[in-house]
Structure 1
């Protein structure tokens, strides 16, 4: 039986509305492409004025249960029952669809039926398929209960009534709230509760990942390095190391990949959902400034220019599309820069085939983006949002569920070792396994599941300690609503695309002139307007704290 929402949507076929829908889809696709690429590189941004969120919340509450008129009290209504219970359409990310995908789907369905009396239709998506299909599915109102929502689209999702406001269902999310702690509240955009983040690291400091064999061949230890933004001359330690690598291995590229200090959006400042107005000094200020004309960004560009002119960087690094992991794996790259965390060395060994050492390049900072860059949201197409919320809550508390979606079928795709780690069964490896993701950073609660072999047995405890010890931005909990400045941000993104990489990687000749040209273009595209709007919303948020 078709939902009322879909019937009404089907009747809207005049040309003006069709064109508007097409524009929304195109906008969503562009935003998804940007955020998915960033999120994938991290492992592994948010947006909200109270008035806009309240209006969107009211509109969503009118349609979230049936697609027609309802009230918040109708959150208690029961949706369609399929067999023994409600059927949840659950979308989640996978590295690739393995040969045992159907077995995993069946195992999750059996588990949910046993523990929740619910049925589950699993919808696995790679980053690529999510980027191309999610927007279309939401716009068409296709069957979907739970899906991964990226922060660049929050305002659009609310305005388009693609997501349910979960605020009426907080009682059904208490298990997840206990797991997430204070990070639970980062799911709000104003008064609209969009969804739940993942249990993972809460800070993304920049780090230099180096080949351990060459690093030790040159007599280095990680303890020899103390890279800090309190003293930019400390970055000379890296330049001196590159010089020794070049001397010992003349044909080796010292640094390659797609990242450098000036592109590390999550590391040195709180970008508050976009780079157009930030809180510098790891978010330890309340004044929004333009990072691209500040001393720090200029210094990073100057350091990169020195490295580029010295021949330490790949000559095509500013246009290269291959990540550092790919470059290191190819065998002629010494290092790359990425976001690091407690077990980066284990992760990169699996990704590159080389043992690596990790040199942190600054402090770790916790901000809202670290929590809500991706949230599990309930789609407005859900037949029963309350039951969808109950299922979502369960995904944060079930060890078996998190192991299933990450490692696959126990006994076939993985076994439990004597020390409590997950590992390949005898005779199975990465090339022959039927299902294996190692995608805990995009799953509800990897801490509930088993760590993979090679990690310390106490890795989740290490994450807890790490998360508790990092610097917290003064804007932690604030989510910027970019709706009033959407046109300006679109133009600003085009400017950044034109200038930033050449400057950040130091491949330009006249750095001063090019930085000025870049900033002139930013202000001409509306940067000051965005910064003023962001400061206004932030000040209003601060007054309520």
Structure 2
């Protein structure tokens, strides 16, 4: 088991993992396909206006909407086009704010802790319980029940309430991949130049000969990219992290026994292999402290590969993001995971003045192809053009590419409903059916469970400090794991790990019993 490694990031370290593209002719589940930019079966102007009729919309309001990802110079232009739709419907406009993956945790915490306006909050799996228990975001249960018509149709009620802590809902999930497996993503040209194909790689150990040859051809490059908080040995986690990683369920567990991941053979083996790779110069010496994401490192030409979860179209997505043709080698089996179902939930901040109006706008997003295309792809003719208008397939305008584009998030995995947006060239129009098949993977015994940490907040804080002290050094191969892992585990025990595991086990037992 431990040789098949690489995948789910612990808690908030989960990486981007969705196609970021849509199809104007793709059908909603159980619905008719409709062109993007028109009224869809999941929404439309008539239903939006009707829903808005039961609250006061007389005061103009600007919705501060944060997202996690790259920012672009034409954001204001895209906002203006979105506001042409939102202002007549809700007397609202939108102010989009982007935070990089390296800074979002700190900046969101600062905004949520202070008096700054922040209406729509991207809540990454593992952060929701803390935000909710700290009073930084609101319980959305009643708002979903009252205004969530379109999101119920898109996500399905079996998934809609997954961002649940003690019966309170901290966010609305998006349509994305709900299952997870693991892979290593590689630059195809360098892989083939070295005489290998993706079919030659089946485990983390198989990467050694590949890295040796590619490093020989390109000694200036890093073989395996990582960054602070997402170092290779951490990215090689394949288990259910149960929200925070302090007590996990392993994929082969059929009983629901919560264990310390840092004492498992999987983690020890990962760390040992990464330590050997680091000694050979395959990993950056600055990996434990750098903030640049993995794909930006490949885009800059400084890195060859990285670990990632997969899903339909992930190789094309990452090719678009990096500017190089990418291929991946699967390293694990697939299971339906809470961490993917609840990977991002759209929450509402405590300082939101009009939660009901903001909720209505969010629900409208789930049914508006126009807004989905604007938010994710930008403005037609300027940021994208049709490669096949009949099939809803788009591409870059002449002279525009991933290096010089002025807008284009390519982040369908954060969009409320990417299935009603256009499909980027290279993807099949049937991609959303492929997603639904991918999402049918078998669940773990813990799938659907989210830990309520309110009884162990002090211990979680202490454990986080301990892990932060050790994990990036271990995960990047900067220290000998034979010495560092036992030292970290001893410190985790002193910080209260056993108490957290006991609390988590009790909650999980109750969850399993209630199934």
Q: TM-score, normalised by structure 2?
A: 0.80
CA distance in 1, matches of 2:76, 2:289: 39
Aligned to 1:492: 463
The reply to whether residue 89 of structure 1 matches residue 63 of structure 2 is yes
CA deviations over 1:52-76 (Å, ceiling 9, x no partner): xxxxxxxxxxxxxxxxxxxxxxx99
Match of 1:405 among 357, 369, 375: 375
Cα distance change of structure 1 residues 543 and 79 upon mapping to structure 2, 3 Å threshold: same
Classify the secondary structure of the residue corresponding to 1:91: strand
The Cα of 1:284 is off from its aligned counterpart by 4.6
Aligned residues: CA RMSD = 3.2
Question: Structure 1 residue 190 and structure 2 residue 166: aligned?
Answer: yes
Instruction: Rate the CA distance shift 1:472–1:306 in 2: closer, same or farther, 3 A.
Output: same
Matched with 2:427 is: 455
Residues 444, 283 of structure 1: CA spacing in aligned structure 2 closer, same or farther, 3 A cutoff? farther
SS of equivalent residue, structure 2 residue 262: helix
Between 253-262 and 194-203, report the one with greater CA deviation. 253-262
- Mind listing any 5+ residue stretches in structure 2 that lack a counterpart? 1-9, 20-50
Residue deviations 1:488-537 (CA, integer Å, cap 9, x gap): 1111112212222333344434x433322121111011111111111111
Aligned residues: 467
Aligned-pair CA distance for 1:172 = 2.1
Pick the aligned partner of 1:173 from 137, 148, 159. Answer: 148
| Aligned with 1:105 (options 68, 76, 79) | 79
User: Which structure shows the higher helix fraction?
Assistant: 1
Larger mean Cα displacement after TM superposition, 319-328 or 268-277: 319-328
**Alignment deviations for residues 369-394 of structure 1 (CA, whole Å, 9 cap, x no partner):** 21223211234544554443332222
Residue 424 of structure 1 and its aligned partner are, at CA, apart by 2.7
Distance 1:156 1:301, change over 3 A: closer
Shift of residue 256, structure 1, vs aligned partner: 3.4
CA contact (8 A) 2:242 2:450 kept: yes
- Aligned structure 1 segments of 4 or more residues deviating by more than 6 angstroms: none
Change (3 A) 1:94 1:400: farther
Structure 1 residues 543 and 139, CA, compared in 2 at 3 Å: closer, same or farther? same
Match 1:223 to one of 170, 186, 199: 199
Instruction: Write out aligned runs for 1:375-454 (5 A).
Output: 375-418=345-388, 419-430=391-402, 433-454=405-426
Cα distance in 2, alignment partners of residues 518 and 159 from structure 1: 28
Choose which of 318, 331, 340 in structure 1 pairs with 2:310. Answer: 340
Cα deviation, 1:423-461, whole Å, max 9, x if unaligned, reads: 233454456655322122211111221122233333333
Q: For structure 1, which segment, 133-142 or 495-504, has the greater mean C-alpha deviation from structure 2 after superposition?
A: 133-142
Q: Which runs of 5+ in 1 are unaligned?
A: 1-33, 45-74, 228-234
Do the aligned residues in 2 keep the contact of 1:80 with 1:384 (CA within 8 Å)? no
- The residue number in structure 2 matching 1:331 is 301
- Partner of 1:268, secondary structure, is coil
Question: SS state of the match for residue 186, structure 1?
Answer: coil
Structure 1 residues 378 and 321: alpha-carbon distance in aligned structure 2, compared to 1, 3 A threshold: closer
State whether structure 2 residue 428 is matched by structure 1 residue 464: no
Matches within 5 A, 1:69-218: 79-82=55-58, 87=61, 89-93=63-67, 95=69, 98-113=72-87, 117-128=89-100, 131=105, 134-135=108-109, 137-139=111-113, 145-169=119-143, 170-181=145-156, 182-218=158-194
Q: Secondary structure at the match of 1:441?
A: coil
Report the Cα offset of residue 250 of structure 1. 5.2
In 2: Cα distance, 1:130 partner to 1:323 partner: 13
* 1:242 pairs with 2:218: no
1:411–1:294 Cα change, 3 Å: same
2:453 corresponds to which residue?
482
Q: Distance in 2 between matches of 1:316 and 1:77?
A: 55
Secondary structure at 1:126 match in 2 = strand
Match for residue 473 of structure 2? Answer: 502
CA contact (8 A) 2:52 2:90 kept: no
Contact 2:385–2:397, Cα closer than 8 Å, also in 1: yes
Partner of 2:496: 526
Looking at structure 2, the residues matched to 240 and 168 of structure 1 have their Cα atoms a distance apart, in angstroms, of 55
Contact residue 395 and residue 425 of structure 2 kept, 8 A: yes
Instruction: Look at both structures and tell me which one has the larger radius of gyration over its CA atoms.
Output: 1
Q: Secondary structure at the match of 2:327?
A: strand
Ranked by relative contact order (alpha carbons within 8 Å, sequence separation 6 or more), the top structure is 2
Deviation at 1:252, TM superposition (A): 4.7
Question: Offset of 1:472 from its aligned partner?
Answer: 1.7
3-state DSSP of counterpart to 1:499 = helix
Greater shift, 302-311 or 438-447, is seen at 302-311
Structure 2 vs 1, CA of residues 145 and 433 (structure 1 numbering), >3 Å: closer, same or farther? same
Question: Structure 2 CA distance, aligned partners of 1:158 and 1:94?
Answer: 19
Change in Cα spacing, 1:348 to 1:236, as seen in structure 2 (3 Å) is: same
Deviations 1:307-365 (CA, angstroms, capped at 9, x unpaired): 33444434444444433334333435432223333323223323333222211221233
Task: Indicate how the Cα distance of structure 1 residues 284 and 312 shifts in structure 2: closer, same or farther if over 3 A, else same.
Answer: farther
